[in-house]
Amino acid sequence: MLRYARFAREMWHSEVNEAVVNRLAPRPGETVMDIGAGAGAGSMVAAKTGCNVVAVEPTPYMRKVLEARRATSSARKRITVVDGTAEATGVDAGSIDVAWAVNTMHHWGSIEAGIAELDRVLGPNSRLLLVDEDFDDPTHPEYDKFKSKKEEHSHHFASVDPGAVRAQLIEAGLDVAFGGYDRIAQRPAIIIEATRP
């Protein structure tokens, strides 16, 4: 719980999550999956578009926050909170139209297992966006905040190799439109954008 306390504000509402949902443009009736949903910064925005949201979150405290937030949302009937990880989401095979993960890839126990799970759950014509902000980049607006604290600076979000993720997604049969370093919501980040034909 304490591990995420310093991100509390960004995890409630974040421009990156908003940009991710806007980019994926979920449609009413689609089923979307927020992998490592945290406090629901992406899930809550997505639910307002009329899609069905599966918020996958392994940390019990975060699931409590998600459930509390869900209970007060007018879209609560379309939000399901699931105890799972990127590597084992617990959702049905081929049931997901849109999936994203913001600032969780660096937590995955195994990127390979996470991609195998995405391969299992993504349905035909589905869309995927994986983003890990690069807080080690001096142009990141939060760079100074993390630089000043040794313990925080050792928390490297962008520790994932985007080339390896890209290669594994292609191997799984996805079309990868982009896999590398770019900016989203004016922040430097690892971004992997793909579709399943």
Ligand X SMILES: C[S@@+](CC[C@H](N)C(=O)[O-])C[C@H]1O[C@@H](n2cnc3c(N)ncnc32)[C@H](O)[C@@H]1O
Contact between 168 and ligand X by CB under 6 A: the answer reads: no
Q: Which residues inside 18-57 make contact with ligand X, applying CB under 6 A?
A: 35-38, 41, 57
* Least distance between ligand X and beta carbon 107 (Å): 3
Total residues at interface with ligand X (CB under 6 A): 23
* Least distance between ligand X and beta carbon 78 (Å): 19
CA atoms in the 13 A half-sphere facing the CB of 30: 23
C-alpha to C-alpha distances, 128 to 17, 110, 192, nearest whole angstrom: 13, 18, 8
Tokens of 12: 């409630």
**φ/ψ (deg, to 5) at 7:** -100, 10
* Least distance between ligand X and beta carbon 139 (Å): 20
Sign of the C-alpha dihedral computed for residues 26, 32, 33 and 38 taken in this order: positive
Give 26 or 125: the residue with its C-beta nearer to ligand X: 26
Give 149 or 175: the residue with its C-beta nearer to ligand X: 149
* Least distance between ligand X and beta carbon 166 (Å): 19
* Least distance between ligand X and beta carbon 152 (Å): 12
Which listed range, 3-11, 74-82, 116-124, 170-178, lies at the site for ligand X (CB under 6 A)?
A: 3-11
Q: Please tell me the distance from the alpha carbon of residue 58 to that of residue 117, in angstroms, as a whole number.
A: 15
Q: Interface mask (CB under 6 A) for ligand X, residues 53-92, using x and -? A: ----xxx--x----------------------xxx-----
Nearest alpha-carbon partner for 99 in 80, 133, 76, 122: 122
Strand, helix or coil at 82? strand
- Contact between residue 44 and residue 21 where contact means Cβ atoms under 8 Å apart: no
Q: Which residues inside 89-108 make contact with ligand X, applying CB under 6 A?
A: 102-104, 107-108
Q: Please tell me the distance from the alpha carbon of residue 115 to that of residue 118, in angstroms, as a whole number.
A: 5
Footprint of ligand X (CB under 6 A): 4, 7, 11, 14, 17, 35-38, 41, 57-59, 62, 85-87, 102-104, 107-109
